[in-house]
Every structure is written in structure tokens, then in C-alpha cells.
Chain A
Amino acid sequence: MYRAFATSMVVAALVLFLGATEARAGDYDLLIIANKSAPASSASRAELKSYFLKKRTSWKGGGRVIPLNAPSGSQLRKAFQSKVLSMSGSEEEEYWKDEGIRRGTQKPAEISNTLKAVYHLRRSVSYVFRKDYKGGVVKILAVF
């Protein structure tokens, strides 16, 4: 009797632990979000890279695109650099220094509350962790 009880408790604890671990991992999924006015419902990694490196200044469907970055050095920005840009923080900084010298290009604006910014700014695109996402306020273009 006692042994069966103990076994069931261990199993329950394991299920709870694994469930919690899975939820934590999902929390840090990177959601690429866009303002509801953005003329896109999805975006590939290459397309997003071209928006955020300002190689492309218009949405594929037309209209100016406004990329918004999380503050440099933040966990969110690092995740975006690694998953979408395939760059480290210093490589991205080098890129913007070099682009300034080549073409005078200015890097995208940085904002800490990206979700709020994308909600308010027409044609903007940014990213957020799933744990910070509130459904329905913006569009999700991709998940990495």
C-alpha cells in the first residue's frame, strides 16, 4: 500500500516537473510580430533579415517597413541576433558601423517594450518572447 502510494507520488512529481520544463522552454520562443496594418501574414528568415539590416525598406506587399529592435545586450535582442540574423552582438554593431561608412544607413530604433511599440506603430515589425506576448494585439509573422 505504502509502496504504491510512493510510486504514484514520484510519477506525479515527474509529470509535473517535465510539464513545467516544457512550459519554460516554450516561454522563450521568439515570436516575430508585426502591426496589424502590415501587409504580411508570414515572413521568412531571409526576408526578416533584410528588413532588420535595412536592405529592404518596404514590405513585400508594399508600404514602408519600420523594424524595431529590442535594446542591445538584452536577452531578447541576443535571441533575435542568433536566431534570425545569424550574427553576434558585436558583428551586428560592426555591420552598422560599416553601413554608415558605405551608405550612411542608420540602424533601426531600439525600444524596450517591443510589443507595445508594434501595437502602436503602423507597419512596424519587431519580436517578443512568447511569455511576454498578449494574444490578439499584433500579428505573428514567424516563430523561431
Chain B
Amino acid sequence: MRALITIILLGGLATARPVSAQAQTPPRPAPATPASTPVAADNEALQRKVAAQRKELDAQRKRLDALVKNQADRENRARKVDKQVKHLAEAREADELAKLQKLQAGTSKRFKPSFRLFGFADFNFIKRFPMKDDQFGRLILSDAASFYMLSANLYAVSQITRRLSTMMELRFTYQPHGDADGFEVHLKNGDNITVIDGPTFNRVDRTFTSKVSGQSATEAGVVIERLHFDYQVADWLKFTVGRFLTPYGIWNIDHGSPVVLSATTPYLQRSQIVPSSQTGILISGRYFLTDQLRLDYGVTLTNGRGPMDAVQDVDDHFAYGLRLRLLYESRKFKIAAGAYGYYGRLKDQKGNLVVDMMTGEALSSFDTIEEKDEFIYSVDLLVEAYRFRLQGEYAYRYTRYRSPSVPFGDDVANLATGTSGDGLPVNYYTHGGYLMLSYTVPLRLWGAVRRLTPFVGYEYHQARDVEPATTIWRAGLNFRPLPALVFKGQWEGLYSDVLGDVHKMTLQMAVAF
């Protein structure tokens, strides 16, 4: 290009040179004859032409200089770009090398610990529609339309050595501040209203004003969902100590709002028929029977359930549990069936200091507050085929009191405390289950495949054998526009002799971060 321009301009210069040379020769002296002579006129015309050509030549020179300068700039830029590309390639190479070294360190004795923080949160809108004639249900469940923020869960996971890791899941919640509970009973006699002694309305108030800054704030809650240390020997053997999620069912493991399909949690999970987490030891693993068939197991030895089981066991009795799950997975079909069994015993006592008035000796004695056995089992099933997913769980718990109690089947005089007319606890069972069917529609949106999953579900729950059962029907849509973002909308009808019939709409946005 440069050469071409140069040739063109040199050509221009070559044609211009004679004119230039002409222009440089001193002008002939004007003849004495008047200017109107033809020679003088020619001369003037020639001079004008020379001046014009000189002007054009100057312009061409300037253009040439500009072109040469541009070309030089362009070459400079190209050199710079080449340099940058080279630097980038070197940087990428260095980055890859660093990655490789890191990976190598992870496999050698020079292990480098890693630490990750992530989590999830959800934002909801709910509106309940209790039946107008159901006065009791309206007292228990608010029918106010509301935005609803439950919690944010934060995970901290650290790989300490190749085999040893820790995991902590914290749930940050605005509650219990503002939580309301109970109601008063008023007796109406004409215009006379008498408030009877008994249940009261309570609202938790955790507001405080700092004496230092004078600012008001409300205390929020932090729940340690799990905090455990894992030592992985092999796929078939892993030791977990600490507080861990009970290895039962499907929901309890999935549990995060971006993972689970519906916007609400099943009753069997909420009512803790099986304790959702336990403190103790979990020995677990998976054994591949074939490439497509595997057996998962888990053995739990824990504090069981108690007044402060997350921290310590108040008696000498551990709880035992066994989890088994068989899973078959091929390219288009998956089926998993699991079961969990649990036995736990609780003896809660209060201590007394007894001073012998005769001898002055101080002795200790203990009164049993509660002593009971819990027998629990749960089963779960998951089937995935042709974009259909069927998920179901059932859990059952039988509670038998060892302290003075009334045998199972006797009348319960007080449903709230589960005691007989003599004030003794009555043995009972509680059970519940759910079934959920969904179909995933892949949608090609914004250049990728997004999932739209309509679902329907049925749920059954009986809090005590003597209480009427609650049934729930729900239907909804789950839309995942991004891997970390899920929108849900669902409608559910709750049918209960205790709470009455309630319909509820829930909209949820769940985010993983």
C-alpha cells in the first residue's frame, strides 16, 4: 500500500517537476511594449499555472507526509497489538501453569487448603384465603397478603487436606423478632366480655436501643444448620462428626429453595417427624454394584432428640440410625428407593439439692421430667424418566413414654400437651407423606436451554393419632431462567378439621450465590 502511494506520488512529482523547473527560472523581463501584448498575457497565464501547480504540489506533499505518518502509526499499533497478544498468550500460559501446579499440589504431599463461601436465599409473596366460616383457622393463619423473607443460608466449605474437609451451613433469619403466638379466649354475654384465664397472645420483641449510639435495632437469629468435619477414606467409607443433616429422604438433603421444586416445605419435614439434623457420628459411603447401580448407606450414632441435643446429650442414651438407598441410573432413566430407621431414648431430669436437716448433709436427687423412646422409619422413592419426575416420601414415628404414662390408644384430654385427664403423657404416633409429580419442558430462551417445570403434589399429615389428618393439594410452576435463579408460583389447598380449609398462593424467587 505504502509502495503504491509512493509510486503514485512520485509520478505526480515527475509530471510536476518541469513545471516546477519552469517556475524556478527567473521570469523574463517584461518587454517595453504595453502589457496588453500577447507575450505578456501568456507569461502571466503561465505564472498563474505555475503557482497553482506549486500549490497542488505542496498539498500532495502534505498528503504524502500524512499518509506516511498514518502508515507509521498503523504499524506501531500493529506492533503494540502483537505485543499485547503475545503478553496475553504468555499470561494464559502462566495461568494454566499455575492452575496445573495448584492441581498437582492437590494431588501431592504439598496440599494447599481451599476455602469457599456460597449460599442461597429466597424472597416470597404469600396470600392465604381461609374459608370465611372457619373462625379458628383465621386465628392461627393470617390471611394478610405479605412479602415474606424467611432466611438466607450461608455455606463455608474448606478442604483442609486431600481427605479432610469441613462444612458449615448457617441460616440467618430475621426471626424470632415479631413472631406472634396464641390467642385469648373471650366470653361474651350480651355486651359483657370477660377475658378468661388461660391462653394468651404473645409477640416476641427483640428490639433494643444501644446506650452507646442511641440507635434502635432488632436482634436476628442465626441457626447452625450443620457443622461437621468429614474424613473421606474412599467412596465406600466416609466419617462425619459434628452436626449433620440426617441422611433420610429426599427433601432433607435437597432442602435449599433453589433446589426443591415447590415453594413450601412438606409437613413431614416441618413437623420434624424425623429430626432434620443430629449431633454425633455418621459413617457413610456408596458402593457401586455396577456402573449404573449403586448402594448408599449411612449409620448414625448421635445424641438423638433432646432439649439441647445440638450441644449435648442430657442422658446416657445415644440414638441409632441406619440409612440404605439403592439407585439405578441410565441415560434416560433413574430410580432410587431409600429407607431410614431410627431409635432414640430420652430421659430428661431436673436436679434437686436435698439438705438433711438432721445431719446437715447436702445430697443430690433427680426427678424425671420426661422419659421416652422414639421409633422412627421413613421411606422415599424417586423416579425420573422422559422428563417426568416422581418423588415421594413417607415418615412414621411412634413415641412411647417410659415415665408414668398412659398406654397408646387412651383418650387424650389435652391435645396441646398430649396428656390424659390425669396429666400423664399418652403414647402416640405421628406420620405423614407426600407425592410430587413434575414434567420438565426445555425452553430455548436467550441462546440456551431453560427449564420450565409444572408440578402437582399431594400431601398427608397426622400430627397425633387422635387428631384429624391434614391433606394438602398443590399445583405450581417452577421456572429456572438461570442456573442460579429460580422463580416459582404455586397454589395449594389445605384441608384440615383443626385449621379449617385454607387456600394459599405463594410466589417465590430463589437465588443461589
A contact set with B: CB distance below 8 Å: 44-47, 50, 55-58, 60, 64, 66, 68, 86, 88-91, 93-94, 96-98, 100-104, 106, 109, 111-113, 116-117, 120-124
Contacts and interface: CB of A to CB of B under 8 A. Distances in A.
A58 B114 CA distance: 20
B329 to A, nearest CB: 7
Interface centre among A55, A88, A94, A101 (most CB of B within 10 A): A101
Given A56-B288, A120-B100, A64 B256 contact: no
A106 B288 contact: no
A90 B236 CA distance: 30
A88 B107 contact: no
21 contacts: A45-B331, A50-B288, A57-B232, A68-B103, A88-B448, A88-B449, A98-B254, A100-B118, A101-B120, A101-B153, A101-B155, A101-B254, A101-B256, A101-B258, A102-B254, A104-B157, A104-B165, A111-B100, A112-B92, A120-B100, A121-B100
Given A94-B480, A121-B100, A100 B107 contact: no
A57 B102 CA distance: 18
Contacts of A101: 120, 153, 155, 254-256, 258-259, 512
B402 interface: no
Interface size, B (range): 35 or more
Contacts of B118: 100
A130 to B, nearest CB: 22
Contacts of B450: 90
A45 B291 CA distance: 9
A56 B289 CA distance: 13
Interface in B468-497: 480, 482-484
B90 to A, nearest CB: 14
A122 B107 contact: yes
B235 A100 contact: no
A111 B99 CA distance: 8
A60 B449 CA distance: 33
Interface string B277-289: 0000000001010
Contacts of A120: 100, 104
A93 to B, nearest CB: 4
Contacts of A109: 99, 102-103
Interface string B139-160: 0000000000000010101010
A18 to B, nearest CB: 32
A99 to B, nearest CB: 9
Interface string B325-345: 000011110000000000000
A70 to B, nearest CB: 12
Contacts of A45: 331
A64 B107 contact: yes
A91 B259 CA distance: 13
Contacts of B292: 46
Interface in B305-362: 329-332
B127 interface: no
Contacts of A121: 100, 103-104, 107
A123 B120 CA distance: 34
B276 to A, nearest CB: 14
A64 B162 contact: yes
Contact of B258 (A97, A104, A112, A113): A97
Interface in B433-465: 442, 448-451
Given A101-B259, A102-B259, A58 B96 contact: no
A66 B100 contact: no
Contacts of A88: 442, 448-449
A123 B157 contact: no
B362 to A, nearest CB: 50
B234 interface: yes
A91 B99 contact: no
A56 B292 CA distance: 12
A100 B512 CA distance: 9
Contacts of B484: 97
A112 B109 CA distance: 25
A112 B235 CA distance: 28
A90 B483 contact: yes
A86 B162 CA distance: 29
A76 B331 CA distance: 20
B116 interface: yes
Contacts of A124: 103
A46 B331 CA distance: 8
Contact of A93 (B155, B232, B255, B483): B483
A102 B235 CA distance: 17
Given A88-B449, A100-B512, A46 B330 contact: yes
B108 to A, nearest CB: 8
What 6 pairs across the A-B complex have the smallest Cβ distances?
A101-B256, A93-B483, A46-B291, A104-B157, A94-B483, A104-B167
Nearest to B119: A101
A98 B482 CA distance: 13
A32 B232 CA distance: 27
A1 to B, nearest CB: 46
Interface string B93-114: 0001001101110110000001
Contacts of A91: 449, 451
A101 B259 CA distance: 8
A50 B156 CA distance: 25
A12 B99 CA distance: 49
B476 to A, nearest CB: 18
B449 A104 contact: no
A47 B291 contact: yes
